[in-house]
Structure 1
Amino acid sequence: MKKKSILKKIVIALLLLLVVIQFFGTDKNSTAVVSENAIDKHYTVPPHIQALLKTSCYDCHSNNTTYPWYSNVQPVKWWLASHISSGKKHLNFDEFNTYPAKKKLHKLDEVAETVGKGEMPLTSYTLIHRNAILSDADRKELEAWAKEVKQQIR
């Protein structure tokens, strides 16, 4: 009897905690205006590459995330905010032109490498966002585009 009582209290406490944390929000990664420092404002980004970037990269690597319904539920909201913040620290396509030339070249190398190896987009992202999965042809196009932009920078 005592074990059931303790288990019941634990379950009630967890449910209460789950309800309470719903009132603690995070800032959404969303802006009304595209930054003047966005990569496509300074370098050639063909429409099909822009579409790939928007579908497979921009939710974590830009100033505008398209949020799914479950992003309003804690603790998922915190996890997504942390993930997006981390992604933007590594590379933000909307702030790309604020980077020094050396950093731009390095970031483009990383794009080519991580996309080429299938490390990006992350599996945790593509499990839910099936349309973000890149085909081999998509990966090769993104790698080639990154190399072209490097040439524009040099």
Structure 2
Amino acid sequence: MKVWHYSGLVVALIILGIQLVPTELPEVTQDNPGDLIGSRIVDGEVADLLQTACYNCHSNVTQYPWYSHVAPVSWLVAKDVKMAREEVNFSIWSEYELMDQLAILDDIYSTVEEKHMPLPIYITMHAEADLDDTQRQKIIEWAEAAMDILAEEY
């Protein structure tokens, strides 16, 4: 019985101790003049879907929930958001070269069609991001149409 008591105490001390390890969550900025939403290639309905299902990781307007400030979950959230923004950051859309924008739209098309995004772990904590087939189809059709619009410029 004493072993369990001491084991529980050690675990509690470890959990408390790891809270002291600093976590650098990626910065949040509300003023993003080069954002995809402000571009001419996205309409309101698709913009709403992207904001609900994608923007929390793939933009600078991440809304961190309470648990993102508690280690070790904070470490995972920080890593995931950093990686997501490196892959594509909708807040800096206008900074991407035209060919990169086309590649991103092509990736959006395929990952949404194949249901690889949003990630299941994200949907577990954010049920509103779970896209139904109609919503997925809207994003797919938008990505295809946006590619056509941008390809005309090339």
Structure 1 ranges of 4+ moved more than 6 A: none
Check if 1:126 corresponds to 2:119.
no
| 1:39-118 to 2 correspondences below 5 Å | 39-118=36-115
What is the identity, as a one-letter code, of the residue corresponding to 1:116? E
Compare 35-44 and 60-69 and name the one that shifted more.
Answer: 35-44
Deviation at 1:25, TM superposition (A): 3.2
Deviation at 1:40, TM superposition (A): 2.3
Structure 1 contact 43–152 (Cα < 8 Å) conserved: no
Indicate the RMSD between aligned Cα atoms, in angstroms: 1.7
**Distance across 1 between alignment mates of 2:101 and 2:125:** 30
Q: What is the TM-score with the length of structure 2 in the denominator?
A: 0.88
Report the CA distance shift for 1:60/1:7 in structure 2 as closer, same or farther (over 3 A).
Answer: same
Identity, in percent, stands at 30
Structure 1 contact 37–95 (Cα < 8 Å) conserved: yes
Check if 1:30 corresponds to 2:32.
no
**Distance across 2 between alignment mates of 1:99 and 1:150:** 14
Unaligned runs of 5+ in 1: none
**Distance across 1 between alignment mates of 2:37 and 2:29:** 16
**Distance across 1 between alignment mates of 2:78 and 2:140:** 28
Question: In the TM superposition, what whole-angstrom CA distance separates every residue of 1:49-98 from its partner, at most 9, and x where no partner exists?
Answer: 11101110011100111122211211011110101111111111111221
Check if 1:145 corresponds to 2:148.
no
Unaligned runs of 5+ in 2: none
What is the identity, as a one-letter code, of the residue corresponding to 1:94? S
Q: What is the TM-score with the length of structure 1 in the denominator?
A: 0.88
**Distance across 2 between alignment mates of 1:40 and 1:131:** 19
**Distance across 2 between alignment mates of 1:53 and 1:27:** 25
Q: Report how many residues are paired.
A: 150
